[in-house]
Structure 1
Amino acid sequence: MRFLLFICLLFITSCKAENKVSLESESYVIYVDQGSVSERWGRYLYKHLQNHTLDKTIVSLSLEKDKVKIEGVKHIYIELDIKLDKDFCIAHNKEELRIKTRDIASTEWVVYQLIEAISQVDKRFKTDDLPPAILDFSTFCGTHDFGYREPYYQENLLVDQSGVLGNNNVELDWGIWGHNILKALPKPVKNSIYAKVDGVINKEQLCFTSGDLYAALSEYIIDNYGYGVEEDERYRFMIAPLDNSIVCNCGGCYDFNKSSNNASESVAFLINKLARRFPKYEFYTIAYLSTKTIPKVGLEANVGVFISTIDFPKGIAIDSDYLSKKEVKNLLYDIEQWHTKTSKILLWDYSSNFDDYLSPIPVLYGAQKQFKYFKDKGVSGVFMNASGYDYSSFSDVHNYVLTALMKNVELDVDTLIQRYFEKFYPKNATLLTTYYTKLEKTYESKKTPYNLYGSPSEIFNTYLDEQEFVVFYEAVGKSLKTTTGEELKRLNRLYKALTFTRLQLAYYKGIEANGTALLKGHKVVFKSEIKQWVEILKSSSKSGISSYKEADGDLSVYTSVWDDMLLKGEFENLLLTEKLLFKNEKGQLIEQSKLLNDGLIGFRSDYHFGWYISNAKELHVEFSTKHIEGIKSLNLRFLVDKRHRFKAPTHIEIWSDGLLIKTVNASSYHLLGKTAEASINLDFKGSNNMKLIFFKSVGDRITTALDEVQITN
C-alpha cells in the first residue's frame, strides 16, 4: 500500500522499528555481483562513497562471491531489480545492509541518500555537496507518492542535481517538451505537415493525421533516443499542438475530430500510433485549448496527459470553503474524466510569484496540503513550475522541501526546513528558520490563495510584515560580516535578493516610515541608504542574479529607474500634501489614493510599480488648487506597453472650477520608450479646484496606466 512509504524517514522522527540499526561502522565493504546489471551501481556507490572521505582505506570493493564476514565491517549490497513492486526495499542489520531498487532513478537517489546518511553518523565522511537525507535506512520498503516529480527551480536544473535529489528534469527526461514539435522536425518542414484550414495551408498549426509528421517524429526519436531497449532509455515526449487554438480541418483530421475547434481525436490518433511503435517510452497530450476535451478513443498504456492547475487556488487547503468553487470543481472533473482514459495524469502546478522572484514567498505549507489532495485524487506526478533557471529567494529550501514532499506528502515541513538550514547555513540556521517558518505560519493563517502574478501591495498586505522583514533584512546584512566560506556565498546571494524587496518596500511606503524619502515642503528628498541598496542590487549579477521576474525582469533596467530618480536627488510636486479623488464618468467616488502624488515616478519596466491602473472609459481625478498661484507646469505620464495592453489616453480634458480650460490630444504627447508624457503650462490664478478627465484608448482589453500628477514651479 502506498501509505507504507517511508515508515521511518527522518532521523529525528519517532520511528519505532525494532530492527533500527546504526549505519556507523569501522569500515564499509561494497559487494558487487560481477557481470550483473547491478554491478554498475555497486561500483558507483563505492566510487562516490570514497570521494566523500579522505581516508580511502575505510571503503573497499569486493565481489559478492568472495564475501568474508569481518567484525566491525558494514557489508553493503545494492541490487537493481526491475520486477520489484516497490521503488526500493531496505534490509538492515548490524553487519549487513541490502538495498533493492526497481529503476535507475531510484538507485541513483538511494546511493546519495546512503552516502549522506552515513556522513551523519560517521564524521570521517564529508558531504557538503549533498542535501540532508530523508531515509534513515531502517528495514522497510517504499514507493514514492508521485511517480513524476519535478520542482522547476535552479537548484534542480544544475548539472547532476536532479539525479542526486531523485527528481525528474525537463532537460534530461523529455525528448519533446511543451509546444515544441517543430523543433524536432527536419528543416525545411514539409507543407504536408502543416494544418489545412478551409483548404489553405496554415503554418501556425500542424496536421496530426499527416503521415509525414508521424514519419518525421519517428525518425527524430530513433536518431536521438533509440527504441528504448536499454534500461537507461526512459524518455517522455509531449505531443501537443502549437500554442494556439487553430485546428486542422483537412479530410483526415475532420474525420477524427468532427469539429473545426477541437483537435483531441486527431492528436490522440498520432500519440497512439507513436506509443505503439515505441512501447518503452511515454507520450503525453495536454488538456489545453484545442485538446482540452477528453478524446473518445482509448489511449495506449504508455500515453498520459498533462493538466494545468493555473486556475486552481494556490497555497491553501482545499476544504469545504473551496470545494464548491468553479475552478476547483473543474480541475477535479478533468482529473476524474481523464482517469477513464489513462492512469498517467501529471499536473502542471505552480509555486512562485512570477512577477517577483526575489521577494520571499511562503509556498511550502500550501504545497503540502495540495499534494495530499492531488495524491488522494489519483494524480501520478507533478511538474512544479517555479523560477526555473532564475534565482529566487529561498529557492534552495523550497527545492529541497518540495523534493521531499513529492516523495512523501506526510513529512513534517518545519523539520525539513530546519534541517536544511542547519546543514547549509549552520551559523545562521536559527535566524533563517525562525523567519521563514513564521512567514509560512502567517500566510497559512490568512487562508487566502496567493496570486501567481502578485503586486507589491498584495505582498505587503498579506504575508510580508514590513517591520519583521526590515529587522530580518538588517540581521542578515549584519551576519554577513561574521559568516565565512560557502555559507557566506549563499547568504550574500540571499541578501542581495532581499535588497530588491527592501527597495520595493521603501518605494511602496514612500515618505512614511521605512520609505524612500523625506518630505520637505513641496519636495521629497531621497534617503541616503537608497543609493546604497541600489548599488548592492547592481552587484547581484556577480552572485548569479540578473532578473526579478518571469518576463522583462532585467535588474539593470530596474536599477536604472532608481538611478534616474536618485540623479535628481529630490522631486517637486505642489500636490504632495493634497488629497486626490478618483471618480468615474458618473461622478461617483472610486477611491482616494496617494499613488499619483507620492513624489515617486512609475517604473517604465513594470506596471506593478507606481502606476495607477484604470479600465474606465473616463477616469476623473479631482484635487484642490487653492494653494497654487500663477503659471505652473502640469506634468502627466502614461505607460505604453503593447504586450500588456497599456495605451495613453486619446485625450485629456482639464477643468477648473467647473469650466473646461484645455484639451490635450494624444498628438501632443512626448513619446519616450515605454512612456508617453504631457507637459502643460497653466495659469492657476483664482483656481480653487481642478479636475482632469482621462479618456481611455479604444481596443480589446486596453487599459490606462497613469503616473504622477505633478505640478511644478
Structure 2
Amino acid sequence: MHNYQLHSKQKSPISSLSAVFVMPLLMMASCGQAAVPPFTQYSEYAVCAANADDAADVKWATYLKSHFQKRATDKDCVIAAKAADGSQLQVNVDLDPKMSTDYAVERDEQHLTLRARTTEAMLWLQYQFMAAASEQDRRFTTDDLPASVLSCTRDTAGSFAFEYRGIYSPSNTNADLMPILGTHNVDFDWGLWGHNLRKVFTDGIPQEAYAMVGAKRDESQFCFSSEKLYKAYEAYVIDQYGDGNNDEIVRFAVMPNDNSTVCQCPACRAAGNTATSATPAVTKMVERLARRFPKHQFFTSSYTTTAAPPKHRLPDNVGVLVSTLALPLQTKMDGSTAEQRKFEATMKSWKSASKHIYVWDYMRNFDDYITPYPCLEHIKARLQYFKKMGVDGVFYNGSGYDYASFDDVQTYVVAQLMLNPDADITQLVRHYYGKAYPVTAPIYADYYLSLEDKAQKATLNPYSGIGEAAHTYLDGAALDAFWHKLDGGKGKAVDTERRNINEMLTALAFTRLELLRLKPTAPSAATKGELLSLLSAHTAFKDLANYRESFGEVDEYINEWRTSSPWLANNSNKLRGATLTSTTKLDPEYADLSVLTDGKAGFASDYHTGWLLNSAPQVVFVVPQGKLSGNSTLRLTFLQAPQWHIFAPSLVEVWQGGKLAGKAVPVAKDGRNEVKVVASGLSGSAPVEIRINKAERSGRATIAVDEIEGL
C-alpha cells in the first residue's frame, strides 16, 4: 500500500526513540496560543524541507509531498513551492537528531513545522498530520489510516513512553500500518522470538543440544552449554540478518522451552545451574552471543527456570523480558498487594543486572478470544505502573492471528497508551469509532465503554470461562441488545464497516451460546438452531476458525452442541438438586458444589463451565442422609484432557460409617468418562462419602468431575 523507502527496510529496527515522556499526545498545546484557521481554509499545501541543504529534510519533504498528494482528489493542492499568498499553508519538514523530544509540531496561521528526532518518529508524525488534515479537508482520503491523536493545529511536543511497543493481535499484522500506528509485532521485528529456539537448527537437532537430566537427554529442553547450540544460533544470526555492521540492529530472544526442566550436564552445573534454575547457563550463552554480535540486541527472560537474574551486570546489548503472568490484571496498581510487591522486587533485581527491561504483558482471555474482554483501563494502569519502574519496552500478548471481539479498537487504544499512558480512553475509543465506523460508531462506542466501566473493579483472568465474565462485567441482556442494535444498523454501512459488523455478529453467537450454558433450563430448539446456524457462518472469515489459544476450533464447538446437550434428562436421578458438601479444601474458583447435581453436563472442550476441578490427592464429597439407601448405583462423569493436565481418577470409592460400600476403577479415554459405582447396604439415616483418588502420575495432575447421579 505504501512505499517506505525512507523507512528502514530491516525487519527488526531498534527504535532510538526516547523513553522520556514530555507532553500528552492528545492535542495538548501551549497555554494562550492563538487559534489558527482550520485546514479547510487553505487552497494549497506547500511541502518544503526546513533546510534545503539538508539531504534528510529534502528526502522526508519529498516523501510527505508524494504521499499527501496521492491521497488528494485535487493533486494540484499539494505543491512544493512557497508563496506569499495567505491561502497557502506552508508545511516544513525537519529531521533533527539533536532534538530533546521525539517529535514536535510548531504551528501558526501560515506555517506548520513537523520536527522529529528519528526516522521512525518522522514517519509516525507525517501520517498523524495527513490523517488530521483529512478529518477537516475532504479533498484528502485517509480511510486506510488510523485516527490521528495529534490535531496539528497547535504547538505540541512529546516523547514516546516506551522504545519498544509490541502488540500481538490480528489488528496489528499489517507491516505497512505498524510504523504509522507506532507499534511493533514480534513476527516482523525480531530475529528470533519467544520459545522458538529450535528454529536455529536447519538439519535436525543433535542430541548434544538437548538438556541432560539424570543420565539421559531430555528432548523437551535445551542444553545452553552446548557448543552445537551456540554454533547453530551464531550461523542463524549471520545467515538471516548479518552481523549488524550495516547499522540494521535486530533483537533476538534466547529462552529455554516453556517448562521446568533444567539441564544438569557437567558444563551447565559448572556454570551454576541448579535443579530449578537455568539462569547461569542461559546467561552465559546470551553474553557470548552479545559479544559476538555487539550491534544486535539479545534478550533473556524472567520466567520459570530463568526467573532469577544473574548476579553480575550484563552487557549493554543484553536485555530481559519479564513476564507478568503472576501479576493479577487489576486497575489498582500501587504496590499494595503481595503480588505487586513481589513483581517490584523482581524488577529491581533485574534493573541492577540489565540496561534494557521489557515487559511481556497480556491483553486477552486465552481460553475465550471471542467473549468481550474489557481490559483497556487495566492496561492503562499497568503501563503507568511499568513506566514508573523504568521499563523501556512493552509487549502485549493478544490473540495473534485469531479473531477477538473489539480487537481493532483495543489495538488502537493500546498503541496510543504505549505512546502516552496518560491518554484518555473514552476519548480514544470514540475517536477511533468515529473514523473507522461512521455509521455505527455510537452503537459500538457506547456498548464497549459500558463494558470498561463495569470491569474496572474486577480482576481479569487471562484463562477463564464464561462464568467469570458473567459474574463481573458481562450482562447477557445488554449483550443481546447490543447485538440487535448492531444488526439493525448495518444496513447503511458499506465496505469494511459492513464486513466487520457481520464478523462480530457471527462471532458473538459463540458468546450468546456460552451464556445459554449458564442457564438452568434449556433454550428452545429454535433459539439454539438460530445461534448455531449463525456461528456456522464463521467460515466466511478466515481469522474466525478458533475461539481460544489451543484446542479451540469453532467447528468442534459447534459439533459438541449438536451431538450433546448440556441439560440432562431428569430421569430418576436421586441426587438431582441435592446439596453436597466436601471435607476437602476446595479452590475458591471451583468451590460451587451445585455443578455436581444441577443436571447440566460440561463440554469435553471446556473445563471451566460445568466441571469442578481439584488437584488434591483425594477429594471427598458428602451426600446428605436420606438421599441414598440400600443397594444404590452412583454414576459419575470425569474429564480426561491431558493437554490441560486433567486426568480421570485412579479410583472411586463409596463409604458409609467407616465402611467401604463399593468401588470402581475408571477406564480413561480422552473426553468425558462415565464411571458407575455399585454401593451395597447403605443406610438412609447416615451421610455417604464419595472418595475420588487422583490419577497416579508424575507432574501436574488435576481431577475434573461433572455430574454425580444416583440411579
Indicate whether the TM-score tops 0.5: yes
> What is the 5 A alignment of 1:648-667?
648-653=648-653, 663-667=663-667
Select 1:49's aligned residue among 61, 68, 80.
Answer: 68
Q: Does 1:641 align with 2:618?
A: no
- In 2, are the aligned partners of 1:148 and 1:380 still within 8 Å (CA)? yes
Q: Once the 2 structures are TM-superposed, how far is the Cα of residue 530 of structure 1 from its aligned partner?
A: 1.5
Name the structure 2 match of 1:30: 47
Q: Once the 2 structures are TM-superposed, how far is the Cα of residue 302 of structure 1 from its aligned partner?
A: 2.0
Q: Once the 2 structures are TM-superposed, how far is the Cα of residue 244 of structure 1 from its aligned partner?
A: 3.9
> What is the 5 A alignment of 1:492-641?
492-511=502-521, 516-517=522-523, 526-543=524-541, 544-565=543-564, 571-575=569-573, 578-584=576-582, 593-615=593-615, 617-620=618-621, 622=623, 635-641=635-641
Greater Cα shift, 671-680 or 116-125: 671-680
- In 1, are the aligned partners of 2:663 and 2:678 still within 8 Å (CA)? no
Identity of aligned residues (%): 31
- In 2, are the aligned partners of 1:299 and 1:341 still within 8 Å (CA)? yes
Inter-partner Cα distance in structure 2 for 1:269 and 1:182:
19
Q: Once the 2 structures are TM-superposed, how far is the Cα of residue 17 of structure 1 from its aligned partner?
A: 5.6
Q: Once the 2 structures are TM-superposed, how far is the Cα of residue 165 of structure 1 from its aligned partner?
A: 0.8
Q: What code does the residue aligned with 2:621 have?
A: H
Inter-partner Cα distance in structure 2 for 1:115 and 1:684:
83
Name the structure 2 match of 1:705: 704
Select 2:429's aligned residue among 401, 417, 426.
Answer: 417
Inter-partner Cα distance in structure 2 for 1:294 and 1:266:
12
- In 1, are the aligned partners of 2:600 and 2:610 still within 8 Å (CA)? yes
Q: Once the 2 structures are TM-superposed, how far is the Cα of residue 155 of structure 1 from its aligned partner?
A: 0.5
Name the structure 1 match of 2:399: 387
Name the structure 2 match of 1:520: none
- In 2, are the aligned partners of 1:652 and 1:692 still within 8 Å (CA)? no
Deviations 1:331-386, CA, capped at 9 Å, x for gaps = 11121222223331100111111111111121111111121111111111111112
Inter-partner Cα distance in structure 2 for 1:685 and 1:240:
57
- In 2, are the aligned partners of 1:656 and 1:688 still within 8 Å (CA)? no
Inter-partner Cα distance in structure 2 for 1:689 and 1:571:
28
Inter-partner Cα distance in structure 1 for 2:702 and 2:584:
19
> TM-score if structure 2 supplies the norm length?
0.85
- In 2, are the aligned partners of 1:636 and 1:677 still within 8 Å (CA)? yes
DSSP 3-state at the match of 2:282: helix
Greater Cα shift, 487-496 or 45-54: 45-54
Deviations 1:71-95, CA, capped at 9 Å, x for gaps = 4333333344444443223333333
Inter-partner Cα distance in structure 1 for 2:703 and 2:239:
52
Select 1:228's aligned residue among 233, 238, 244.
Answer: 244
- In 2, are the aligned partners of 1:582 and 1:591 still within 8 Å (CA)? no
Q: Once the 2 structures are TM-superposed, how far is the Cα of residue 255 of structure 1 from its aligned partner?
A: 4.7
Q: Which runs of 5+ in 1 are unaligned?
A: 518-525
Select 1:132's aligned residue among 138, 147, 156.
Answer: 147
Inter-partner Cα distance in structure 2 for 1:222 and 1:658:
70
DSSP 3-state at the match of 1:114: helix
DSSP 3-state at the match of 2:283: helix
Inter-partner Cα distance in structure 2 for 1:690 and 1:393:
48
> What is the 5 A alignment of 1:239-258?
239-248=254-263, 253-257=268-272
Q: Specify whether residues 313 and 655 from structure 1 end up closer, same or farther in structure 2 by C-alpha distance, changes over 3 A only.
A: closer
DSSP 3-state at the match of 2:694: coil
Inter-partner Cα distance in structure 1 for 2:228 and 2:83:
61
Name the structure 1 match of 2:121: 106
Name the structure 2 match of 1:365: 377
Q: Once the 2 structures are TM-superposed, how far is the Cα of residue 144 of structure 1 from its aligned partner?
A: 0.5
Inter-partner Cα distance in structure 1 for 2:681 and 2:266:
72
> TM-score if structure 1 supplies the norm length?
0.85
DSSP 3-state at the match of 2:55: coil
Name the structure 1 match of 2:454: 442
DSSP 3-state at the match of 1:227: coil
Q: Once the 2 structures are TM-superposed, how far is the Cα of residue 151 of structure 1 from its aligned partner?
A: 2.3
Inter-partner Cα distance in structure 2 for 1:95 and 1:576:
85
Q: Once the 2 structures are TM-superposed, how far is the Cα of residue 15 of structure 1 from its aligned partner?
A: 6.4
DSSP 3-state at the match of 1:707: strand
Inter-partner Cα distance in structure 2 for 1:630 and 1:191:
61
Name the structure 2 match of 1:342: 354
Name the structure 1 match of 2:693: 696
Q: Does 1:149 align with 2:161?
A: no
Q: What code does the residue aligned with 1:643 have?
A: Q
Q: What code does the residue aligned with 2:101 have?
A: K
Inter-partner Cα distance in structure 2 for 1:272 and 1:570:
60
Greater Cα shift, 557-566 or 545-554: 557-566
DSSP 3-state at the match of 1:423: helix
DSSP 3-state at the match of 2:449: helix
Q: Specify whether residues 252 and 641 from structure 1 end up closer, same or farther in structure 2 by C-alpha distance, changes over 3 A only.
A: closer
- In 2, are the aligned partners of 1:573 and 1:710 still within 8 Å (CA)? no
Q: What code does the residue aligned with 1:31 have?
A: C
Inter-partner Cα distance in structure 2 for 1:592 and 1:403:
39
Q: Does 1:185 align with 2:195?
A: no
Inter-partner Cα distance in structure 2 for 1:472 and 1:684:
57
Q: Once the 2 structures are TM-superposed, how far is the Cα of residue 508 of structure 1 from its aligned partner?
A: 0.5
Select 1:677's aligned residue among 663, 674, 679.
Answer: 674
Q: What code does the residue aligned with 1:346 have?
A: Y
Q: Specify whether residues 16 and 672 from structure 1 end up closer, same or farther in structure 2 by C-alpha distance, changes over 3 A only.
A: same
Inter-partner Cα distance in structure 2 for 1:684 and 1:485:
71
Name the structure 1 match of 2:314: 299
Inter-partner Cα distance in structure 2 for 1:383 and 1:582:
45
Q: Which runs of 5+ in 2 are unaligned?
A: 1-17
Inter-partner Cα distance in structure 1 for 2:267 and 2:222:
12
DSSP 3-state at the match of 2:644: coil
DSSP 3-state at the match of 2:165: strand
Inter-partner Cα distance in structure 1 for 2:34 and 2:243:
44
- In 1, are the aligned partners of 2:656 and 2:682 still within 8 Å (CA)? no
Count of aligned pairs? 682
Inter-partner Cα distance in structure 2 for 1:111 and 1:420:
19
Deviations 1:441-460, CA, capped at 9 Å, x for gaps = 2222x3x4211112222111
Deviations 1:156-188, CA, capped at 9 Å, x for gaps = 123423222110110121001112233123424
